[in-house]
Structure 1
Amino acid sequence: PGASYAEKDGTFTNTERRVQRVQKAIDPVGEALPDWQIICMLAKKMGAAGFEFESPAQVMEEIARLTPSYAGINYARLEQLGSLQWPCPTPDHPGTTYLHKGKFTRGLGKFFPLEFKEPAELPDESYPFTLTTGRLMFHFHTGTMTRRSKKLASEVPEAYVEIHPDDAHQIGLNGHKRVRVTSRRGQIELSVRVTPNIKPGVVFIPFHFAEAAANALTNAAIDPTAKIPEYKVCAVKMEPVA
């Protein structure tokens, strides 16, 4: 089995291009091994050469040799500086804070005009509100990891729908704390938050909560070009529940 994050050394590169050291807190439990060792073992079993690494530091050295943007990154520098951002092409390079400063790599930006296309499903008399879904700071995807954390779960413990005060008046909320949200595909019940921060006619539901799954409502219509389901917009109706 693979070692957990707390049981292995290595590096972590985030979406800011920042490379940081990861240091194990404990030795791997039982027969668990770091990922790099498992990959090396599999490669050798398959007859591949070049997998004679003895440490993750040696793996990083090969990355630096083969990848110009990582050429100046090694464990010694990471431990001294804390982190480096690629491109970092030489051992004395400070790293690149801004990847595209002043201009893009290929020069000026290129813009393409597009013709606006309406969503596959728009509000109507039966379903007068537009639902959009999204993320919260404290949870990740369906919450299978973050909702197991007492601290994160306490920040947002349950699903909710955000609606504008005008819409709350329109549906006769009158102090009710929960609503039923229904689309042509399903319905869910959840608590309600009334806020002027959302546009009238639009409602927002985070998609992290299986017990009030936002995607039970959303529309699976496919974009003809990108082939992406239209999960971010559909028509719904709402009614207060006790």
Structure 2
Amino acid sequence: MDDDLPEHAIRPLIEEHTGPVVQVKRTVRGFSSDLTALVDCGEGRFFVKAMRNRPGGRRKSLIREKLITGHLGHISPPLLWDVESADWLVLGFEVIDGRASDFAPGSPDLPLVVGVLGDIGRLSLPEIARTWTETRWDRFLSNSSETELFRGESLLHTDINQSNFLVAKRRVWAVDWAWPTRGAGFIDPALLVLQLIAAGHTPDGAEAWASELSAWREAAPEAINAFVAANLRMYRAAAVRKPDEDWLKAMVEACRAWAGHRRLPEER
């Protein structure tokens, strides 16, 4: 047994909350954590995210997730306990017995996903999130004046993809709040549009789903256009750095299709 593996290292830290641990089964989700797992134990079952307690963005992301969960209500599985030691940060969530959502055209999950995005859009911005200004697209904008288009008072999830919306008993939970931010309300709906195009929707069809959300309907067209162009630049740059990553190539093509639909000038 390798005691340095996360599943072994965290056992003595979490057993105060879980009781004796029977099994730690890694999950396929959670690429930003050192461990995501279902833990069977004396107190039942928990979904656990664990991260080595080292300075940097990954640590900050888990701290943000810990802080935001109490403000999400029924939208996300509740955080039941957390542990911090010199070596580890661990969050223990209620287990949702569900599956990843399906973003494909015609999927019955789409109305549920859009409904949850509407719920997120109606959340009040908690005080703890006021300093979490959304800036990740700033360096991909055509000029600095566009940054104000992305600022706002909405709480954003910002990691919209099929795996982060779990379907269980005809409802959807938004999970993996690894990097919530404060910004313009149209950003989460716009991220959904991009993911829908990548999943096979036409740009027009993808935008039709977003149009059910007030934040999208109220957004200025120039803000959406700036977002489309910024994402195209961002994914092109990432695809150049990692030419073997097929998913990045797919995102570039989705961005190109969306930019063409919105009649944005082609950039080389």
TM-score by length of 2: 0.22
Whichever structure has more helix as a proportion of its residues is: 2
Higher relative contact order (CA 8 A, sep 6+): 1
Task: Pick the structure with greater CA Rg.
Answer: 1
